[in-house]
Amino acid sequence: MKPQPILRAGAPERDNRHNSRRVSRVANFTPASALIGGALIGISATLLLWLNGRIAGVSGIMHGALQRRGDDAVWRWLFLAGLIAGAGAWLWLAPPAFAPRAGYSLPLVLLAGALVGFGTAQGGGCTSGHGVCGISRLSARSIVATLAFLVTGMASVFVVRHLFGVAS
């Protein structure tokens, strides 16, 4: 099965990214696939709450999977396995329109992972738990958390890309 053209529309031409800056600031914008993918994530979060009474927060599910034992661990590992299989199914059906990033510093990726693991454990959520589910429940904690990680995320990219000039 080939994907609908709309899902590939506007697929970024990554190699020209920096050259095309003057041409258009939003050349990489992919609104249709973003909305469709986002809606699927919303449906997933709804299913998990409606059926199991659980918040679809990936970091919370992961931290729990690493700590809990028995029934409370099994569903978590299954959700994470589904996450990988679901993404894999799409990459298999529709080979991605982007080249996988290669050559980016692996020690930096490891540091990034450790900071994300620590920070989401302390902050009690990530983009899905706070960003999607929390905002949908109009939780003040989640709205504040989302603003906080958006601001430091933007600052962090500014430092990495523009101050240190690392191509990420």
Residues 96-125 that bind other proteins (CB under 8 A): 96-98, 100-101, 104, 106, 108-125
Distance CA 74, CA 3 (A): 33
| Count of chain residues binding other proteins (CB under 8 A) | 120
Per-residue x/- marks for other proteins, 127-146, CB under 8 A? Answer: xx-xxxx-xxxxxxx--xxx
CA distance 146 to 90: 28
Q: Rounded to the nearest 5°, which phi and psi values hold at 164? A: -90, -10
Q: Which is nearer to other proteins, 69 or 98 (CB)?
A: 98
Contact residue for other proteins among 2, 15, 84, 165 (CB under 8 A): 84
Residue 9 engages other proteins in binding (rule: CB under 8 A): no
Ordered alpha helix ranges (H), 57-161: 58-67, 71-93, 106-123, 135-136, 140-157
Nearest-angstrom CA–CA distance, 122 and 143: 16
Q: Which of positions 11-70 make contact with other proteins (CB under 8 A)?
A: 12, 14, 17-18, 20-21, 25-31, 33-56, 58-59, 62-63, 66-67
Shortest approach of other proteins to residue 58 CB, angstroms? 4
